[in-house]
Amino acid sequence: MAILVNEQSRVIIQGITGREGMVRAQLMKDYGTKVVAGVTPGRAGQDVYGVPVYDSVLQAWEKQGPLDVSVIFVPAALVKNAALEAIEAGIRLLVIVPDRVPIHDVLEIAARAAEKGARFVGPNTLGLVSPGKAVLGMIGGRAERAREWFKPGSIGVSSRSGGMTSAISYYLTKAGLGQSTIVHVGGDAVIGLSHPEVMALFEEDPDTRMAVMFGEIGTTQEERVADLVESGRFTKPLIAYIGGKAAKSGTRFSHAGAIVEGSRGSYETKVKRLREVGVHVVEAISDIPIRAKEVLGS
Amino acid sequence: MARLFEYQSKKLLKQGGIPVPAGDVAATPEEARRIAERIGKPVVIKIQVWVTGRAGIGGIQFAATPEEAEVKARQLLGMRVKNFVVDRVLVEEKLAIKAEYFVGLVIDDAAKKPLLIFSPAGGTGVEEIARLHPEKIARQTIDVLKGFPEYEARNMLIRVGVEGGILPKLADLLTKLYKVACSSDARSAEINPLVLTADDNIYAADCHLVVDDYAVFRHPEFGIEIAREFDRPPTELEKIAYRVEEKDYRGTFYFFQMVEQTAGSEKYIGFNGAGGGGSMMSMDAVLNRGFKLANYCDTSGNPPASKVYRAAKVILSQPGIMGYFASGSGVASQEQYHSARGLTKAFHEEKLDIPAVIRLGGNFEEKAIEILQAYLKDIPGVVEGYGRDDSPEFCARRLEELVAKNGGKRHKVRPMGETPVPEKAYIFETVTGRISFDHSKCPGCKTKGCVPACAPKVLKLEDGKPVLAITPEEARKGKCTECLACEIFCRFHEQDAIVIHLPIPGLKEYRERILAAKAET
């Protein structure tokens, strides 16, 4: 098992002929992801590393059969159009890699996705990997590196920082602890699948025995994970590491923001809330594998 | 998040059909007087800065006559508030206030929807009311596909007891505010207070909009200089850094100064992180060793070597730092030798004489560390390179030890030097710079190693001399990725015949000013 993606998932790449699209098409293919098509308007008939290119998602679907996932590598200003195209065509999982996607565009993508029953990871994500099965996006950079850093196993990893996603997973691997699925949820304020949504998927996945989460100051994601634990909707062991302890907390300047977030959002409140409900909060990245071994051993 | 000033926000409201008090913005006392004359009524004069509680610090003044308005404006202009110097005041008609409300729109990250908030009691106490009496606050999430119809706004208001003639007026205003927020790509839009006047009209008496950084490109009309979160105007150096970033979309370069001056006995360092989470972790590690950051900087997203070079040059334009710390997550997907080459070129030019600890874990970290070790061993400062198996805590400790060993010596900013380009040099343009080859030195070269060193393989040999294997146009458009490998190879292994010139507009003058100021004292 694993969540969101496995070796059976049929994947397309929107923006496959661009600089990033090409390089990451190679990563995904080399790793073993079933990349069945690419889309770049005006480039139908070409191929990238043996992946046929089509003019539209619909055309790719017609020629290649049902598609499960689209990984999007188009410039930020064009992301909304590409995402809506994929959702409309019937794709149920999008991975939106670019950063700097306008927030109102993300809101529209979220609304359309909800309407059609689709999900998305990102924007501003390195992607995700189910070790030994498939990688989506650019995580690991190159296939041989992704194989070396991430190993199959029973720990689910969810992180708001791309680099930390790889770092945590690598340190787990080094300690002999494999991962079920590794998700970089994305660094923006509004994202498709956030920590609580990923935790809910790990809860359902029989191969995931425990989870590790990297959180950051800002937004209410980590507090909402605590809510899940408290209400019994996430029951597996969870280790959390929260970045930004020393960061100067931003001056709150919007009353409306303060009304919505209340006392949530800061390092202290996140750690306190997670500890209250029994989450293992660690203070350094090197403590993650140590604690994970303790938790899995007990 | 790019903030708009009150007067800019009000202009947008007015265009969206929301009533604002009559008035205009003034940069001089005389202008303030003329605006007051036009209004022909008592006025209020408000400083235009991004701080709350302006009334409490005397930033809001009233004037009965145009003459008085001029006097008051003279007092306010030039006033220092936090890091701001007041350079504009808003002069508006004074309203006869009967009631104050609060209206705010934010993006709810959990719902992934805009959220509109209305409170029948406005003013600064609104957060307190929300906490103590949440039932008095109306909240409505908005379906962006459906929009925000008037009846939804009306029902929201009815829920908190709004009734009578004011109800349709407020409902209309809420729908208009939502439209303004969408059309201006606002992260948040707040009217506080929204005022009901004695003659039963409503006005947005104060308002501020925060524009989504990522959508600033759609709004040149806002004149936003730096589309990033600041609670003060950007510094000169931040502006220089931002211009680098603005012109080069390959990867990210974010630069932010934490202090105005690195004076006193504090142990300041230059900080060069990579990636948000990894930077935060690394920052925590150095701060735990008692260091203070002169700046925060993030070079990530697979930036070219040229961008990391410029970042290092900007960081090293801060006098007084005792060390240079570069560290990201430790397991970066990006190819780390680009960063290593960027740092190598910058540290060499600067003849760096403070210690640097560079943690470049990730793809090709062995090669990255090798570059640092091979080429930076002869500069005055000690440079140590580390990889993914060295923790940020360990690296922070190393920096502490090296700084102590260096006697706590502080960095001195040097004038920007420029290597002269020899006559008849072979030159081509790159995306952000220029490369020159002094072919007269090539006969002395045994290895011709610049050609195989070139990462994108854009060089070839012609009569034993390196030239472009592509058209100059292709090189300028990005086929030459500015990896700096040819220059570094030639400098350290061969004839030092290659010079890559990567200008940073404004930095030379900036450093000259620092040095001149220092010479004066």
Q: What is the mean pLDDT of residues A106-117?
A: 98
Q: Has A255 been annotated as catalytic? A: yes
Interface contact flag, A161 B284, Cβ < 8 Å: no
DSSP output for chain A? --SS--TT-EEEEETTTSHHHHHHHHHHHHHT-EEEEEE-TT-TT-EETTEEEESSHHHHHHHH----EEEE-S-GGGHHHHHHHHHHHT--EEEE--S---HHHHHHHHHHHHHHT-EEE-SS--EEEETTTEEEESTTSSHHHHHHH--EEEEEEEESSHHHHHHHHHHHHHTT--EEEEEE--SSSS-SS-HHHHHHHHHH-TT--EEEEEEESSSSHHHHHHHHHHTTS--S-EEEEEE-SSSPPPPP--HHHHHHHTTTTSHHHHHHHHHHTT-EEESSTTHHHHHHHHHHH-
Interface contact flag, B301 A99, Cβ < 8 Å: yes
What's the pLDDT score for residue B252? Answer: 84
What is the Cα–Cα distance from A186 to A95, expressed in whole angstroms?
Answer: 10
Residues B421 and B433 sit within 8 Å (Cβ to Cβ): no
B185–chain A Cβ distance below 8 A for any pair: yes
Kindly identify which residue of chain B lies nearest to residue A214, measuring between CA atoms.
B277
Contacts of B335 in chain A (CB under 8 A): 141
Q: What is the largest CA-CA distance in chain A?
A: 57
Which of B465, B459, B468, B461 is closest to B443 using CA atoms?
B465
Please identify among residues 238-267 of chain B the ones whose CB lies closer than 8 Å to any CB of chain A: 252, 258
Give me the residue from B190, B212, B335 closest to A102, CB to CB.
Answer: B212
Cα separation values, B343 from B148, B351, B406, Å: 52, 12, 20
Looking at CA atoms only, how far is residue A32 from chain B in angstroms?
Answer: 18
Looking at CA atoms only, how far is residue A102 from chain B in angstroms?
Answer: 5
Kindly identify which residue of chain A lies nearest to residue B144, measuring between CA atoms.
A108
What is the Cα–Cα distance from B200 to B210, expressed in whole angstroms?
Answer: 29
Q: B359 forms bridges with which residues in the sheet? A: B327, B386
User: Phi and psi (nearest 5°) for B224?
Assistant: -80, 120
* Joined tokens for residue A51: 């992946």
Give me the residue from B231, B280, B389 closest to A243, CB to CB.
Answer: B280
Give me the residue from A110, A166, A253 closest to B333, CB to CB.
Answer: A166
Which of B146, B256, B264, B121 is closest to B196 using CA atoms?
B121
B234–chain A Cβ distance below 8 A for any pair: no
What is the Cα–Cα distance from B347 to B489, expressed in whole angstroms?
Answer: 16
Looking at CA atoms only, how far is residue A59 from chain B in angstroms?
Answer: 26
* Joined tokens for residue A193: 């699948």
Which residues make Cβ contacts (< 8 Å) with residue B114, sequence separation at least 6? A107, B105, B106, B107, B108, B141, B142, B144, B178, B181
Looking at CA atoms only, how far is residue A297 from chain B in angstroms?
Answer: 24
Residues A265 and A219 sit within 8 Å (Cβ to Cβ): yes
Q: 10 Å Cβ neighbour count for B446?
A: 8
* Joined tokens for residue A15: 């923006």
Question: Directed axis angle between helix A162-174 and helix B276-287, to 10°?
Answer: 70
Dihedral of alpha carbons B433, B439, B445, B447, sign: positive
Interface contact flag, A255 B192, Cβ < 8 Å: yes
- Please tell me which residue, B435 or A246, carries the higher pLDDT value: B435
Which residues make Cβ contacts (< 8 Å) with residue B249, sequence separation at least 6? none
B128–chain A Cβ distance below 8 A for any pair: no
What's the pLDDT score for residue B22? Answer: 96
Which residues make Cβ contacts (< 8 Å) with residue B337, sequence separation at least 6? B364, B367, B368, B371
Interface contact flag, A162 B329, Cβ < 8 Å: yes
Would you kindly state where each structural domain of chain B is located, as residue ranges? 22-93, 97-222, 236-405, 426-501
The yes-or-no verdict on residue A259 having pLDDT over 60 is no
Interface contact flag, A214 B277, Cβ < 8 Å: yes
Give me the residue from A141, A149, A255 closest to B190, CB to CB.
Answer: A255
B83–chain A Cβ distance below 8 A for any pair: no
Interface contact flag, B130 A164, Cβ < 8 Å: no
Is the pTM here over 0.80, yes or no? yes
Q: What confidence tier does A252 reach under pLDDT thresholds 50, 70, 90? A: very low
Contacts of B115 in chain A (CB under 8 A): 256, 260
Residue B51, SS3 per DSSP: coil
Which CATH entry fits the domain spanning B97-222: 3.30.470.20, 3.30.2020.30, 3.40.50.1220, 3.30.1330.60?
3.30.470.20
Length of chain A: 298
Give me the residue from A103, A224, A251 closest to B212, CB to CB.
Answer: A103
CATH architecture of B22-93: 2-Layer Sandwich (3.30)
Q: What is the number of alpha carbons within 13 Å of residue B287 lying toward its C-beta?
A: 16
Q: Write the burial class of residue B79 (CB in 10 Å: 0-12 exposed, 13-18 middle, 19+ buried).
A: middle
Give me the residue from A167, A247, A257 closest to B331, CB to CB.
Answer: A167
CATH of domain A10-297: 3.40.50.261
Q: What is the mean pLDDT of residues A275-284?
A: 95
Domain B236-405 has CATH 3.40.109.10: no
Mutate to test the interface with B, among A88, A109, A161 (most CBs of B within 10 A): A161
The yes-or-no verdict on residue A136 having pLDDT over 90 is yes
pLDDT digits (tens, 9 = 90+) for B402-455: 999 999 999 999 999 877 888 889 999 999 999 999 999 999 999 999 999 998
Q: Can you list the residues of chain B whose pLDDT is less than 50?
A: none
Mutate to test the interface with B, among A101, A145, A253 (most CBs of B within 10 A): A253
pLDDT digits (tens, 9 = 90+) for A180-237: 999 999 988 899 999 999 999 999 999 999 999 999 888 889 999 999 999 999 999 9
Interface contact flag, A286 B278, Cβ < 8 Å: no
Query: Domain B426-501 has what CATH class?
Result: alpha beta
Interface contact flag, B188 A257, Cβ < 8 Å: yes
Mutate to test the interface with A, among B1, B103, B112, B190 (most CBs of A within 10 A): B112
Q: Which residue has the tokens 């959220």?
A: B115
Phi-psi region of A126 (alpha: psi -120 to 50; beta: other; left: phi over 0): alpha
Looking at CA atoms only, how far is residue A52 from chain B in angstroms?
Answer: 25
Interface contact flag, B217 A253, Cβ < 8 Å: no
Looking at CA atoms only, how far is residue B349 from chain A in angstroms?
Answer: 30
What is the Cα–Cα distance from A198 to A4, expressed in whole angstroms?
Answer: 9
The yes-or-no verdict on residue A280 having pLDDT over 70 is yes
Give me the residue from B50, B218, B329 closest to A167, CB to CB.
Answer: B329
Looking at CA atoms only, how far is residue A262 from chain B in angstroms?
Answer: 8
What is the Cα–Cα distance from B395 to B375, expressed in whole angstroms?
Answer: 20
Interface contact flag, A162 B214, Cβ < 8 Å: no
What's the pLDDT score for residue A249? Answer: 45
* Joined tokens for residue B371: 């570059």
Please identify among residues 338-397 of chain B the ones whose CB lies closer than 8 Å to any CB of chain A: 361-363, 388-389, 391-393
Please identify among residues 98-127 of chain B the ones whose CB lies closer than 8 Å to any CB of chain A: 102, 104-110, 112-115, 117, 126-127
Looking at CA atoms only, how far is residue B503 from chain A in angstroms?
Answer: 25
Q: What confidence tier does A250 reach under pLDDT thresholds 50, 70, 90? A: very low
Contacts of A112 in chain B (CB under 8 A): 145
Catalytic residue among A104, A184, A195, A255: A255
Length of chain B: 521
Would you kindly state where each structural domain of chain A is located, as residue ranges? 10-297
Which residues make Cβ contacts (< 8 Å) with residue B258, sequence separation at least 6? A248, B292, B293, B294, B295, B296
Dihedral of alpha carbons B3, B7, B9, B11, sign: negative
